[in-house]
Every structure is written in structure tokens, then in C-alpha cells.
Amino acid sequence: MLGALINAWRVPDLRKKILYTALLLFVYRLGSFIPVPGVNTASFVAEFQRLAGETGVGLLSLLDMFSGGGLSRATVFALNVGPYITASIIIELLAVVIPALEELKKEGPEGRKKMSQYTRYGAVALALIQGYSYAMMFGTAVRPGVMWKLLIVLSMTAGAAFTMWLGDKISEKGIGNGISLIIFAGILSRFPAQLQGVLGMLKQGVGNIALTLVYGVMGLALIVAVIATTEAQRKIPVQYPKRVVGRRVYGGQSTHMPIRLNQAGVIPVIFASSVLAFPQTIGQFIPAISASVNRFIYNAWVYNILYVVLVILFTYFYTGITFNPVEVADNMKKYGGFIPGFRPGRPTAEYLDRVLTRLTFVGAIFLAAIALLPNITGKLTSGSISFGGTGLIIVVGVALDTMKQIEAQLIMRQYEGFLK
């Protein structure tokens, strides 16, 4: 990995891309410290901690982690790219049930451009709703008056739109996926503060050094497990028959079809968090049900059970969207490919569906387990260590994908140099 970075730095074009990406990420981190107008920051932080303690299930902490601490500091980037991610997932889900959107996805670049526009419009609408929800949620820290609340909502919405623009620019002119890298930078920025908190506890004699070392070893083991799960895949053998054209023989090659253990990535975790945050958002519009929602849904046991169930359900659902066994089997049949021991067409689709279902079950259970780790570690360490599996799987996944993109760029440039 380090060698790939050094080689990339030596290529002028890649060096410019890396510097451009780093500059925009620096701008993003800078915006994460600019407070929204009309908020008493000290009161806001106290109110945030109180509400986080009331929910007591890590929901606000998870949303704050995605925003890189911007939510707990009441900054213009408090919403981060959350509205964009939620909107993109909603559009993907609607494309399954609305034929017009499904056809639009198949129209190539123009169709994807339209879908991207719909996603941005939806993200702005969601940002307005979430911004109002946060303005009402932390009402005691906000200056009285409708205009101040409106200014907070508009500031947060503008911040969400600007982070979307930063993500698009990174994807267009930088290295890696811009939206993922923004989340990556936000999560990673929380780690030094948590490490400092643990070291501070040890200096004061509050913490146990041996227990801290155990947590450290467990953290390293978790990183290895996340990497192994992210890269794990089942290789399905695929055979293509020989074809004789004139005097030449084509095909006859054996290859494999990789099916990842965690096909859906971290999207089910993010979407499950968004769904569980939705009742709280609605509660700000209907104060009469706010107390009941907080008492029932955000009870620790109820929340954790709902969280696990939603993560598993969304893992299956999103995997079904990204990998359709029937379409894959039809494409294989179209090009003459087959899986040894299974006839092309329906038998192949049924076999792929069985394999995908089993792999998805294991991946979903692992994803649900590590999604609960921030809550578990937070309880065991009294909140001093909450950098759990959700953050790790995002950080590891984004880092691996970015390095793969850098290596692909290096290989492409080496081939260009060879051909020249």
C-alpha cells in the first residue's frame, strides 16, 4: 500500500489528483468547525449530551460520527452528506417499484445523469426537514425567534449542499469516491480525540492499563476481521465453450464469477440508522408524540433489536438490487457461458440465488454484530471508547477502494508508457 502511494506521488498527474483531493478534504474539515448563526455553542453541547444520554442507544453519536463531530458542535456541516446518502438509497429503492425510474437507469449516461439530479433534489428536501428537526431538537440553545430558526435551517441545508458539491468534485477531478472519502475523513477525525480521552483517563488513574491493552488487541483483531470480511468472496467457476470460426478456434476458457460475502457494503447500516432517526424527526413536527417516541423506540433494548432486524433486512434487499441472479444467468446464457453441473438459464439462476442467500446471511449477521459494537464498547468503557465496527468497516472499505483505484491508475499509465 505504501509502495503504491510512493509510486503515485512520482506521477505528476496522480500527484495533482491527490493534492486536489487533500485540499477539498481540508476545506470540508474547516467547515466542520464553523458554527451556525443563532446558537449558543456551550448550551448546544450540553443539550446534545443530554439528548444523547436520553436516547442512550448511540443514535446521535452515530450521526455525529458520520458528520465528523459537526453535529455535536452545531456547525454548518452538521448534516454532512447524510441527506444525500438517504436520498440516493430512497431513489434506488423507488427504482425497483417504479418502472419509469428503472427504465431511466438503463438509458446509460443520460439516464444516470437524470437519476443524479433527482437524488440531489431529494437530498436538499431531506436537508431542509432534518435541519428543521435539529433546530427544534436543540431549542433551548437557539436564540428565540422564527428568523433565527429559519437561518439555522438554511445554513445547515447550504452546508449539506456544499458537501455534496465537494464530493462530486473529488470524484470528478480527484482520487476515489468523493462522498465516501468525506465520510471517511469525518470518522477518522474522531479517533485522535478518543485516543486522547483514553490516555487522559489512564494518567488520572481512572482506567485500567491491562484492560486498555486488551481493548487495543481486540480493536486490531476487529480490523483484521473487517478487512477479511470486506475482501472475502466466493468464486463460482464459469466455463465458456469453444467456437470455430473459419480455421480459428475461439473461447474454451475457464474463469470464475466472484460473489462478495458483504455484497451490500455498509449501506444497510447507514440506511437503518436513517430509518430509526426518522421517528425522532417526525416527533419534532408533532410534539404530542415526541415523548412517547423517545420512551419506546429509543429504549436501549428495543432500539438494538430494531437496529439488528433493519440491518439484516436492508442487507438482503440491497444485495437483491445490486446482484440479480436471473439477469446474471441470462447474460451467461447469451454469451454461451455455463456453470459446470448446472444447465444454463433457470437452473443456473436458482443455484446463484442459493449461494447468494447463504453468503448474504453470513454477511448480514456480521454487519449487524459490528453495527452494535459502538453501543457495547460505549457501555463497557463509560463512553470513552465508541469507535466501533460501523466506523471501522467504512474506514477500511473506503481505504481499500481508494488504494485499488490508485493501483488501477498506475497500471493504466504503465501500459500507456509501454504502448508509446
Digit-by-digit pLDDT tens for the chain (420 residues) are 566 677 777 788 888 999 999 999 999 999 888 888 888 877 887 777 776 665 544 567 777 777 888 888 888 998 888 888 888 878 887 887 888 888 887 777 788 888 888 999 999 999 998 888 888 776 677 777 788 888 889 999 999 999 999 999 999 888 888 888 998 888 888 777 767 766 766 666 555 677 667 777 877 888 888 888 888 888 898 888 776 666 666 656 778 888 888 888 777 877 787 777 767 666 666 666 666 666 666 566 777 788 888 889 888 988 888 888 888 888 888 878 888 888 888 889 999 999 999 999 998 998 888 877 766 666 665 554 555 567 777 888 788 888 888 888 887 766 444 344
Question: Per-residue DSSP letters for 301-360?
Answer: HHHHHHHHHHHHHHHHHHHHHH--HHHHHHHHHHTT-B-TTS-TTHHHHHHHHHHHHHHH
For 14, the domain range is 2-419
CA angle in degrees (0–180, nearest 5) for 259-262-268: 135
Domain count, the chain: 1
Phi, psi of 179 (to 5 degrees): -60, -45
CA distance 144 to 147: 9
Eight-class DSSP state of 139:
G
What sign does the CA torsion over 399, 400, 405, 407 have?
positive
Say which CATH number the domain at 346 has: 1.10.3370.10
